C-alpha cells in the first residue's frame, strides 16, 4: 500500500518532468535552448519512472532488482552523445550561414 503510493508519486513526478521537457521544446526560442529540454527529461523524468518500477517490483516480489538501473545508465551514456552531435551540427550550420 505504502509502496504503491510511493511508486505512483514517482510515476507522476517522472511524467511531469518528461512533459516539462516537451513544453520546453515548444516554448524555447532556438535550437540550442531547445536541446536543453529533451536531454533533461531523460535524466530526472526517466530516472523517477525507473525508480517507481524498482519500488513496485520490490513490493510485489520482495527482491531488489538491479536490472532497472541499467536503463538510466544507458540513457545517461547515450543522451549526451546525441545532444553533442546535434549541437555541433547546429553550430557549424550557424557559422556557415553567417559566411553566406
Partner 1 sequence: MSPRPDSFGRRLLPQPVLTLAIVALWMMLQSDAGGGTLLLGLALGLLIPIFTSVFWPSRLRVFRAGAAVRLVGIVLYDILVANIAVARVVLGNTRNIRPAFVDVPLDMDDAYVATILGSIITLTPGTLTIDIDMDRRIVHIHGLDVPDPAAVIADIKSRYETPLKEIFGC
Residues that bind partner 1 (CB under 8 A): 17, 20, 23-24, 27-30, 32-33, 35-37, 39-40, 43-44, 47, 65-67, 69-70, 73, 76-77, 79-81, 83-84, 87-88, 90-91
Q: Nearest to residue 6, comparing CAs of 66, 48, 43?
A: 48
CB of 20 to partner 1, least distance (A): 5
Q: Which is nearer to partner 1, 7 or 79 (CB)?
A: 79
Please say whether the beta carbons of 34 and 7 come within 8 A: no
Q: Which is nearer to partner 1, 6 or 36 (CB)?
A: 36
CB of 73 to partner 1, least distance (A): 8
The alpha helices in 1-100, defined as continuous H runs, are 2-27, 31-40, 46-61, 70-99
3-state class (DSSP) for residue 42: helix
CB of 1 to partner 1, least distance (A): 26
CB of 75 to partner 1, least distance (A): 9
Q: Nearest to residue 40, comparing CAs of 21, 16, 13?
A: 21
Amino acid at each position: 500500500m505504502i509502496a504503491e503510493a510511493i511508486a505512483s508519486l514517482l510515476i507522476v513526478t517522472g511524467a511531469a518532468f518528461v512533459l516539462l521537457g516537451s513544453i520546453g521544446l515548444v516554448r524555447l526560442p532556438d535550437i540550442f535552448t531547445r536541446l536543453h529540454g529533451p536531454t533533461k527529461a531523460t535524466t530526472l523524468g526517466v530516472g523517477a519512472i525507473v525508480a517507481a518500477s524498482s519500488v513496485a517490483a520490490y513490493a510485489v516480489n520482495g527482491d531488489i532488482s538491479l536490472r532497472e538501473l541499467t536503463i538510466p545508465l544507458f540513457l545517461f551514456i547515450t543522451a549526451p552523445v546525441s545532444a553533442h552531435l546535434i549541437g555541433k551540427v547546429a553550430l557549424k550550420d550557424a557559422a556557415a550561414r553567417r559566411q553566406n
